[in-house]
């Protein structure tokens, strides 16, 4: 199937990044959100990021202008119905995702492929709430989308080969690399990454090290570009907790139990960079460890 038009549900960090790369690759993009402020902020963010790419010589000014001209926005979710491919990039809560797909259902064209950018939730279960489980897949981009090269493609139990091959072609056109994952909790990247972050929080919780020593140990001792607690703040502590809960509930293994300290930070509303406080305090000129 030839994908030409793409709908994106959600104008947050992931949704705007996905819109950016699709528009730059020549797709017509329609981005939907319940907030006009979020949509306007997403377009402004995309323009800034395109400017950055142009200033570094990675794209031309003409490429930037063409990409921006391909992006439209709407407050009406059902406007996405006639498009070839829909990517849900809303909050990591299954009830929200299910409601989005149910609202879209009466407005879809027969050929429309549905996907979710979920980082952990069962693709088979999400697909079962639609009228086209054979045309449903997990389409998991990494953050920040314009920079990161990997896309996880996750087939549900009913996903057909044509849908998989179509999305494989889309990933190639985006200039990214696809990793095929089976439909198990958190797939590949987060199945490995999130327990490491959770263990770093346990290391902090138990007093083995403070925020600075833990992050410096992993950056200088394991050559990680970012420490695990700094990375958790970048991802969002609420997202980290949600994924750990999916792992813990889905695999029923105590090794995936979320650290109580991670839960406390989320309860406090200290979610990382997006709230200006997490394992670091970002309200000043330099991030300061909070423990």
Catalytic positions = 119, 140, 152, 190
* Phi, psi values for residue 226, rounded to 5°: -145, 140
Contact 139, 163 (CB under 8 A): no
Angle at 190 between CA 29 and CA 264, to 5 degrees: 105
Contact 236, 274 (CB under 8 A): yes
Residue with the two structure tokens 């063409």: 66
How many beta carbons lie within 10 A of that of residue 230, not counting itself? 25
| Angstrom distances, CA of residue 136 to CA of 75, 97, 130, 238 | 24, 13, 8, 26
**How far apart are the C-alpha atoms of 66 and 82, rounded to whole Å?**
23
Rg, the chain, Cα only: 19
């Amino acid at each position: 199937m030839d994908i030409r038009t793409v709908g994106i549900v959600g104008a947050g960090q992931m949704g705007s990044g996905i819109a950016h790369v699709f528009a730059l690759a020549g797709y017509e993009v329609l981005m939907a959100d319940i907030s006009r402020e979020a949509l306007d902020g997403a377009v402004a963010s995309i323009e800034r990021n395109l400017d950055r790419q142009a200033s570094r010589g990675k794209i031309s000014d003409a490429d930037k202008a063409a990409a921006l001209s391909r992006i439209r926005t709407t407050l009406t979710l059902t406007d996405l119905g006639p498009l070839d491919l829909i990517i849900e990039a809303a909050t990591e809560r299954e009830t929200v995702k299910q409601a989005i797909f149910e609202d879209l259902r009466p407005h879809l064209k027969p050929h429309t492929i549905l996907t979710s950018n979920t980082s952990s939730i069962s693709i088979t279960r999400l697909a079962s709430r639609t009228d086209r489980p054979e045309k449903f897949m997990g389409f998991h981009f990494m953050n920040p989308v314009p920079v990161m090269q990997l896309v996880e493609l996750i087939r549900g139990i009913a996903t057909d080969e044509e849908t998989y091959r179509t999305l494989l072609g889309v990933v190639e056109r985006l200039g990214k690399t696809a990793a095929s994952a089976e439909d198990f909790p958190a797939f590949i990247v987060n199945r490995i990454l999130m327990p490491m972050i959770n263990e770093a929080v346990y290391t902090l919780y138990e007093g083995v090290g403070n925020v600075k020593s833990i992050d410096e140990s992993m950056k200088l001792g394991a050559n990680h570009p970012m420490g695990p607690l700094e990375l958790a703040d970048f991802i969002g502590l609420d997202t980290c907790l949600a994924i750990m809960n999916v792992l813990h509930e889905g695999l029923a293994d105590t090794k995936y139990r979320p650290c109580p300290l991670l839960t406390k930070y989320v309860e406090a509303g200290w979610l990382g960079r997006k709230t200006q406080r997490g394992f670091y305090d970002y309200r000043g000129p330099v991030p300061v460890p909070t423990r």
